[in-house]
Amino acid sequence: MSGSGNVESLLREALSPVEPPADLASRVTSRLQSISDHAAGELEGWELAAMRDPRNWLRPALALLGGSTAGAGLVLLRLHQRRRSHAGGGSDPTPPGDDAQ
pLDDT in tens, 17-55: 888 888 888 899 999 999 999 988 888 877 776 777 777
In the 8-state DSSP scheme, what is residue 56?
Answer: G
Q: Is residue 42 part of a domain?
A: yes
The domain tally of the chain equals 1
Q: Is residue 8 part of a domain?
A: no
Q: Is residue 38 part of a domain?
A: yes
The count of C-alpha atoms lying within 13 angstroms of the C-alpha of 9, restricted to the half-sphere facing its C-beta, is 4
User: pTM score, two decimals?
Assistant: 0.57
Q: Is residue 51 part of a domain?
A: yes
**What is the rounded CA–CA span in Å between residue 44 and residue 36?**
12
Contact 67, 43 (CB under 8 A): yes
Average pLDDT score over residue span 1-19: 79
b/e burial code for range 29-62 (CB count within 10 A of at least 16 → b): eeebeebbeebeebeeebeeeeeeeeeeeeebee
pLDDT score of 92 more than 70: no
Domain that holds residue 57: 22-88
* Residues in the chain, overall count: 101
